[in-house]
């Protein structure tokens, strides 16, 4: 199987290494910035290019791993050279259908995890959300996902777009709340480690049961006086105050503060 990766960012690096380590070697790297393509390709000992026309004519699977906003333009640029390859992107927030006008065989291969170059992914814990326009290609993508990971789900465009929204709440927004908590402690010379056990407990409980059932805190209890006091303590930071108020009212719509 000849696999080509378009892009040389975080996903391209991690995915290409994992595929190779599982006996699914990537045959070519193509990326917009020549040095980026070269660096990744050299580490894999494969050819590289920064021109769509250089795409291997007998590629079986082309993975578009570029910034979400660039996927459509990249698809258009590679369309004349893809022949009968299966072409997938790796984006949670982009419909697979954006590839439909350009390729006969297309789909999505979305690993639902936050990747950074500094951290080695734990592949057995990464859910792969796959979909393709043909059943045959869905089976192929599922098989590959099972080879490099463990958790595989078929998720269509509509489901994946909302899954991505949910992931923003569970990951990005939760992390923003951690960052605000860290800043609040910093202002009073307190170490963030003070909150680590609480954060761990919160996550452990949310994983064990429905987080809605696990909700605690002054808003949940209806302790309006405590909530008012907290809002006053945040008077110097109207943005955090607003987040606190919105979330408290969302947790308990009957709360009057």
- From residue 211 to residue 230, the character string flagging contacts with ligand NAP as x (rule: CB under 6 A) and all else as - is --------------------
Taking the C-alpha atoms of residue 66 and residue 15, their distance in angstroms, rounded to an integer, is 13
Judged by CB under 6 A, the number of residues near ligand NAP is 23
| Residues 163 and 129: beta-carbon distance below 8 Å | yes
DSSP 3-state of 130: strand
Report if residue 167 touches ligand NAP, rule: CB under 6 A.
no
Report if residue 31 touches ligand NAP, rule: CB under 6 A.
yes
Chain positions 108 to 127 lying near ligand NAP, rule: CB under 6 A, are 110-111, 114-115
Which strands make up the sheet holding 3-6, listed edge to edge?
48-49, 26-30, 3-6, 61-64, 86-89, 105-111, 127-132, 151-154
Report if residue 65 touches ligand NAP, rule: CB under 6 A.
yes
Report if residue 66 touches ligand NAP, rule: CB under 6 A.
yes
Report if residue 98 touches ligand NAP, rule: CB under 6 A.
no
Taking the C-alpha atoms of residue 46 and residue 144, their distance in angstroms, rounded to an integer, is 20
- β 3-6/61-64 pair status: parallel
Report if residue 32 touches ligand NAP, rule: CB under 6 A.
yes
| Residues 86 and 132: beta-carbon distance below 8 Å | yes
Report if residue 7 touches ligand NAP, rule: CB under 6 A.
yes
Q: Cβ 230 to ligand NAP, closest distance in Å? A: 33
Report if residue 11 touches ligand NAP, rule: CB under 6 A.
yes
* Of the candidate residues 19, 59, 63, 92, the single one contacting ligand NAP (CB under 6 A): 92
Find the residue with minimal CB distance to ligand NAP: 9
Q: Cβ 141 to ligand NAP, closest distance in Å? A: 15
| Residues 47 and 58: beta-carbon distance below 8 Å | no
């Amino acid at each position: 199987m000849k696999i080509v990766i378009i892009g040389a960012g975080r996903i391209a690096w991690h995915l290409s290494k994992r595929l190779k380590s599982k006996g699914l070697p990537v045959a070519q790297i193509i990326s917009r910035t020549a040095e980026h393509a070269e660096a990744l390709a050299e580490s894999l000992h494969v050819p590289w290019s920064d021109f769509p026309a250089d795409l291997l004519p007998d590629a079986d699977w082309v993975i578009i791993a570029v910034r979400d906003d660039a996927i459509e333009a990249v698809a258009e640029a590679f369309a004349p050279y893809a022949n009968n390859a299966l072409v997938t992107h790796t984006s949670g927030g982009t419909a697979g259908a954006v590839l439909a006008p350009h390729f006969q065989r297309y789909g999505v291969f979305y690993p639902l995890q936050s990747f950074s170059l500094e951290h080695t992914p734990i592949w057995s814990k990464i859910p792969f959300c796959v979909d393709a326009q043909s059943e045959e290609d869905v089976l192929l993508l599922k098989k590959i996902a099972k080879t490099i990971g463990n958790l595989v789900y078929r998720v269509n465009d509509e489901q994946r777009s909302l899954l991505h929204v949910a992931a923003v709440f569970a990951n990005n927004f939760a992390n923003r709340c951690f960052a605000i908590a860290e800043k609040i402690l910093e202002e009073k010379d307190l170490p963030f480690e003070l909150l680590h056990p609480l954060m761990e407990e919160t996550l452990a409980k949310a994983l064990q049961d429905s987080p809605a059932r696990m909700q605690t805190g002054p808003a949940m209890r209806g302790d309006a006086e405590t909530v008012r006091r907290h809002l006053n303590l945040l008077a110097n930071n109207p943005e955090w105050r607003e987040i606190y108020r919105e979330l408290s009212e969302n947790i308990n719509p009957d709360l009057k503060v």
